[in-house]
Amino acid sequence: MRERFLHHAALACIQRAALRRVNRLMVILVALGLAGCAGDRSILDPAGQAARDVVLIWWVMLTFATVVFIAVISLWLYTFKRKYHERTPQQERKIARRWVIGGGILLPVFSVSALLMFGVPAGKRMLPLPLGHPVEVIEVIGHQWWWEVRYPGAEGGEVVTSNQLVLPAGEPVDFHVTSADVIHAFWIPRLGGKIDMLPGRVNVIRLEADEPGVYGAQCAEFCGAQHTHMDLHVEALEREAFEAWLEDRQAERLAELALANDEFAQARDTFSSSCAVCHSVAGISSSAIGPDLSDIGARHTLGAGVLPMEEGAIQYWLENHQTLKPSNKMPSHDYMETATLESLGAWLESLTP
Amino acid sequence: MTTINREVTPQDPQDLHSDLHEVWGNPRGLKAFTIVNHTTLGLRFMVTGMAFFLIGGILAMLIRTQIATPDQNFMTPEIYSQVTTMHGTVMMFLFAIPILEGLAIYMIPKMIGARDLVCPRLTALGYWCYLFGGIILCFSMVIEMAPDSGWFMYTPLSSSEYSPGLGSDFWLLGITFVEISALSAGVELVVSILRTRTQGMALHKMPIFAWYILAMALMIVVGFPPLILGSILLELERAVGMPFFDIAGGGDPLLWQHLFWLFGHPEVYIIFLPAAGIVSTLIPVFAGRPLVGYGWVVFAITVMGFISFGLWVHHMFTVGIPQLAQAFFSAASMLVAIPTAIQVFVWLATLWLGKPKMKLPMLWIVGFLVIFVCGGLTGVMLALVPFNWQVHDTHFVVAHMHYVLVGGMLFPLMAGIYYWLPLFSGRMPSETIGKWGFWLVFGGFNATFLIMHWTGLLGMPRRVYTYDTGFGWDIFNLLSSVGSFVMSAGFAMVIIDIALHFRYGKPAKHNPWNADTLEWANSMPPSAYNFVSLPVVETRHPLWDNPDLPRTMREGQHGLPTISHGRREMWGTDPLTGKLREIIHLPGNSWWPLFAALALAVVCISLLLRWYPVAGIGVVIAVGFILRWSWENGAHPKAAPDAHVKAGDPPLHSRTMDGPGLWAMTTAMIANGSFFLSYLFGWFYLWTVSPEWRMPDESPLSLIGLCVAGVAAILGWGLLEKAVRGLREKNDKGLAFNLYGAAMLGAVQFGLVLWVLLNANLAVTETTHDAIIMVGLAYALLHSGLGAVMALLQGMRVGYRFVGAHAPFEPLVVTYFWRYSVLVFWMLIVALDILPRVIGS
Amino acid sequence: MKAMTQRLHLTHPGHFVGGLTLWSIWFVAVYGGLSVACAVATPDAGQGAFTPINASLLLVSLFTVVLIAALAWACFKEAKRHQARRHFNAKVSAWLYLFSALAVVFVAAPMVGLPPCL
């Protein structure tokens, strides 16, 4: 059994080498052709080993499938053109058996066996097998319709943020995902496959980003009216930058930042009396119904991908969020003065650790 | 068991027709609601299915309009969710399955040489349930309260907390209502195919289409109950608060996914098999030679029927199931490639060895092949777990699914419709308009969905109502939308062609395609009774081997041409050999199916509106109607009071101990058993895997109470078996006593179970454990109660002389029900009460 | 009784569903057994595929394969002895048994290389 296992591993190695070559070719073809317009969510533009394996498998499968497809269809169409031959029943039986056994049994058996040999090793790589050294763990919790991201392993205490996911590049990361309400799915297309986020269960998936960079992600399991607007900004940083990023988000530092500027005292009061029921800002409130806002000024988008973060964006969001993202769970703020919203927005925008 | 070889002189077909028409013909006016004839009801099914297809198609157009370009505001997100959900629901449940059932209902008796399906009133009940359920479901769109959680209704999104409106209730109740029709069609198609083939048509001589439909019907019988159970549980959770899928109470949302896909995956094959049956029927006709490898096709059908039940988890590869378990399902999914490939190559070999002609139906078949092979290949890709993880829930899957369903079902269906049009109407369709229609549909389809694969690979998830520009999705979505409109234009063309042909089509000559199967021995369009006389058929190709057969059949030269007795009659034959066994007499037109369906519609609507007392009354009335309908059987004046048959003919089925009703009961109990096993699966699944499962140390159910109830059931069953033994020996002494005794013991069982239930103090809204026990006991109550009532009614029928040594059939059917009921009751006792005591929580 | 024994005869079309029914039961047993085993006693992830769970699943599979293959062989032999209807039935059953046996092998193959509960 052990031998077979080794044999299996060796086979996987050869496959990988062969596929890398195929992929290089395909990447060139794609670069020339359609994928030129691929965005940051394209499966065909992998940025991690797991996703790369899948793309290799895809191109091999596509090539093979195309050959089979053309062969079968051509044979079918050819039967309408070819001349009819009179045959004895014995001859007919022989020809029929050849088609049925060759095409009906051998062809699929061969194809699917080959496919499984490629596929199983690729799947194994995404398992959270023990590695001999600790792996960074990031918890991601889905909400209707935003993401809660937690770093339980951060030195100096857990770090919490929302709608953005920063991970160290060049090393495997285990994502522990779950949901606070309905089923969502966690998926960073360029890094690898998706996993569902189920209430009451924690699923684990291991992904790795080759290089620092920004990757798109979006909830993949239909989760209600605003499933569409549930983007996650994913950013891979070098290890040191990642550590620094975590360091900046320690609760004391964030609290300092939130309480720093006296000109926002009014805004903080407003926040405490209304927003704090749902939102938390370190040092001021700690409710977890809505997204944590402690570092909101440093995020790239608002409303899980609805608006780009820029000056005045938060105020605009607060005024219009029910039209920008209809039926989101935050109540409308019609009753608040424009000036109040403006100061609130300005303060939140200043929360940039 | 005699083969009847009549040497009858030809009679005037016109006289024979008017005689038969007298008994079989359809009434007009208001009485058209009473029709139970399979030809009429098959057409009603198909026309209704087409209407729902148009509704589903319009919904698809709305979807493609909304996402044609980025950042559109054509629909609000809520409406968009409703539209996508309803598109899937309508196409799957109200179009694909019913229209194929309709085709089978229409075609099967004609192909196997029968005059009707074996339970005509059940056909009618099925149709009304389908129609009313469909209308109720679609009405939800009119009031903007349509279901909006996606067509597979995943909990907790579809639960009352996250979908507080009536949407999910419309889905759950409406679909369950419609499924009554699927199940009734499934049951009677199985029995009809097995027991009513014409004389001599052994199992291996029946038309290949009948094999496909047999497999489809059995799959419906086994495959639908898990979803019915799931729907009942979810509706109970929504309406009463029993926490089956709620983590906090000890339930598990994944149970819904298991139950849904336990149904949902076989469903794909339930749709594909009859369509493949059309392909296997048409190809030999247009190749002008028998199907090559009939045995291989039977092999492939059987394999598909089974394997498709072992694939459901491949819809759930991303839910976090252990990879080894995923690998089982991945491998099983790939195995389906084998029977599929066998069929494709059998068809190829048939064409290869024949002289194929490219007529309009054949064009659709070739279109089917191109699209379906594509869909099959992407299906194999999707079975590979790592690839699945990437493209699951993206537009790639949407594209794959449409390739399989449109390619695998709609194209063969169109081929079939064009092929059988002359039979439906007696006229030929127009080749020119038909070809235009085909090419527009074919081109439009590929433009829409081939491109959609690419959109998916670029990372576009399914069911988003809009998207930002900049991901590279814009142009592909626009092209897909344009393609979809071309496809709709094609369908408009096809519909115009079909509509026009009824008026302007060339009159068709008899058997216009030179086909081999018996349906072409009908008059065109067919009469209500199908065949004047029923032939002996010992070949797979009756019309090729004996082109004269239609004429001799019309002239009454074969079996059962006399109708002076006024009964609707046809042959009942041995399921394996096709030897003659009995004459089956069928009931005539009846109001009861419509009334029962109306009562069920009242139940459905009052459950929606939470008027539970009305719903309760509705159930009682519906059951009353159905029992009233069962009253008109056996020696009842409206059935067969007089059992005289012509010398040499076999006896009437109600005078034997093995009529088709017994087979129908058995098949229905297979469906019931599938429901029960799904329930046990749910119980053990929650017990072992549910994250927050809580179970008391001591079972709340009184073991003694349940065991005494079980013993009462066994005693009642024993009395019935004794009665049946007597009847087999033509002895009905003490028959009424035994039946009444069984009824009494059934009542005792009912009372004891009720007592156990009331004494258990179940907190059904608190814990999943108590809720699921409640459902199990309710199931036991239903069966004991129904068993008692059925035995009681039979006892009364003895008094009326509808049942007795002269008409011994019905008590046997009731006994079969009791056998099932006793078995499952004891299984319930073991699963719910004994095992928890032995294993502990 | 007579009807029952007839049904057991290898030329009865009941055998069409025999192999696949055994396959289904095996499939349910293996999938269910795996789920229960993982819920009750999860082996250490470091053990890879060499766990008692994999071993017992493989054993069950082996037994099933032998059983179904024997039936396939018996059906092939029976088919040779008959003509027409009985030949057809036994032959189709034989191929279906053969397919079921191979299906067990094919589906069981990943047990050799994958850890059971991850």
Q: What is the CATH number of the domain that holds B715?
A: 1.20.120.80
Q: Are residues A114 and A54 in the same domain?
A: yes
Q: What is the CATH number of the domain that holds B517?
A: 1.20.210.10
In a domain? residue A344 = yes
Q: Are residues B57 and B162 in the same domain?
A: yes
Domain count, chain A: 3
Contact B660, B118 (CB under 8 A): yes
Which residue in the set C45, C50, C109 is minimally distant from A129, CB to CB? C45
Contact B82, B66 (CB under 8 A): no
B681-725 pLDDT, tens digit each:
999 999 988 989 999 888 899 999 999 999 999 999 999 999 999
Q: Are residues B107 and B232 in the same domain?
A: yes
Res B294: pLDDT:
93
CB contact under 8 A, A195 and B318: yes
Chain C residues closer than 8 Å to B305 by CB: 20
In a domain? residue A196 = yes
In a domain? residue B395 = no
Q: Are residues A162 and A243 in the same domain?
A: yes
3-class SS at A175?
strand
Distance of CA B507 to the CA centre of its chain: 34
Q: Are residues A270 and A244 in the same domain?
A: no
Contact B235, B169 (CB under 8 A): yes
Res A75: pLDDT:
93
In a domain? residue A130 = no
Secondary structure of B672-723 in the HEC alphabet? HHHHHHHHHHHHHHHHHHCCCCCCCCCCCCCHHHHHHHHHHHHHHHHHHHHH
Does ipTM top 0.95?
no
Q: Is C81 exposed, middle or buried (0-12, 13-18, 19+ CB in 10 A)?
A: exposed
| Helix orientation angle between B660-689 and B768-800, rounded to the nearest 10 degrees | 170
Domain count, chain C: 1
User: pLDDT tens per residue, chain C (118 residues)?
Assistant: 566 666 678 888 889 999 999 999 999 999 888 888 887 788 877 777 788 888 999 999 999 999 999 999 999 998 888 888 889 999 999 999 999 999 999 999 888 888 888 7
Interface test with B, best of C50, C114, C117, C118 (most B CBs within 10 A): C114
Alpha-carbon span A84 to B367, nearest angstrom = 23
In a domain? residue A129 = no
Angle (nearest 5°) at CA B446 between B442 and B451: 170
Contact B119, B38 (CB under 8 A): no
Contact B370, B443 (CB under 8 A): no
Give the helix/strand (H/E) hosting A143.
Answer: strand A136-143
Res A26: pLDDT:
52
Tokens of A17: 């080498």
Which residue in the set B254, B338, B392 is minimally distant from A198, CB to CB? B254
Alpha-carbon span B427 to B506, nearest angstrom = 5
Alpha-carbon span B786 to B157, nearest angstrom = 36
Interface test with C, best of B302, B658, B688 (most C CBs within 10 A): B302
| Helix orientation angle between B768-800 and B735-759, rounded to the nearest 10 degrees | 160
- Distance from the C12 Cα atom to the nearest Cα atom in chain A, whole angstroms: 25
In a domain? residue C30 = yes
Q: Read off the pLDDT of each residue in B514-529 and give the average, rounded to a whole number.
A: 92
Q: Which chains touch A (3 or more CB pairs under 8 A)?
A: B, C
CB contact under 8 A, C96 and B299: yes
Q: Using alpha carbons, select from B41, B47, B12 the residue that is nearest to residue B551.
A: B12
Q: Are residues B675 and B708 in the same domain?
A: no
The residues near C73 (Cβ < 8 Å, ≥ 6 apart) are none
Reported as half-sphere exposure (CB side, CA atoms, 13 A), residue B514 has a value of 11
CB contact under 8 A, A42 and B384: no
Interface test with B, best of C1, C15, C31 (most B CBs within 10 A): C31
Within 10 A of C21 (CB to CB), how many other CB atoms are there?
A: 14
In a domain? residue B186 = yes
B577-622 pLDDT, tens digit each:
999 999 999 999 999 999 999 999 999 999 999 999 999 999 999 9
Q: Read off the pLDDT of each residue in A62-89 and give the average, rounded to a whole number.
A: 92
Domain boundary pick from B680, B713, B736: B680
CB contact under 8 A, C112 and A120: no
In a domain? residue C117 = no
Q: What is the CATH number of the domain that holds A149?
A: 2.60.40.420
Q: Read off the pLDDT of each residue in B82-90 and give the average, rounded to a whole number.
A: 96
Q: What's chain A's average pLDDT? A: 87
Q: Are residues B745 and B652 in the same domain?
A: no
Q: What's chain B's average pLDDT? A: 93
Containing structural domain, residue A292 = 253-349
Q: Are residues B130 and B275 in the same domain?
A: yes
Q: Are residues B167 and B281 in the same domain?
A: yes
3-class SS at B133?
helix
Q: Are residues A232 and A273 in the same domain?
A: no
Q: Are residues B650 and B764 in the same domain?
A: no
Q: Are residues A240 and A264 in the same domain?
A: no
In a domain? residue C5 = no
In a domain? residue B779 = yes
Within 10 A of B600 (CB to CB), how many other CB atoms are there?
A: 24
Alpha-carbon span B498 to B831, nearest angstrom = 56
Alpha-carbon span A328 to A325, nearest angstrom = 6
Q: Which residue of A has its CA nearest to B387?
A: A54
Res C45: pLDDT:
73
Which residue in the set B298, B324, B334 is minimally distant from C34, CB to CB? B324
Q: Are residues A234 and A152 in the same domain?
A: yes
Q: Are residues B238 and B160 in the same domain?
A: yes
Domain count, chain B: 2
CA R_g for chain A: 27
In a domain? residue C83 = yes
Containing structural domain, residue C26 = 17-112
Q: Are residues B116 and B224 in the same domain?
A: yes
Q: Are residues A149 and A216 in the same domain?
A: yes
Containing structural domain, residue B739 = 694-841
Q: Are residues A104 and A156 in the same domain?
A: no
Q: Are residues A173 and A195 in the same domain?
A: yes
Using the predicted structure, report yes or no on whether residue A15 has a pLDDT greater than 60: no
Domain boundary pick from A124, A158, A181: A124
- Distance from the A139 Cα atom to the nearest Cα atom in chain B, whole angstroms: 15
Q: Are residues B670 and B710 in the same domain?
A: no
Q: Read off the pLDDT of each residue in B477-482 and give the average, rounded to a whole number.
A: 96
In a domain? residue A120 = yes
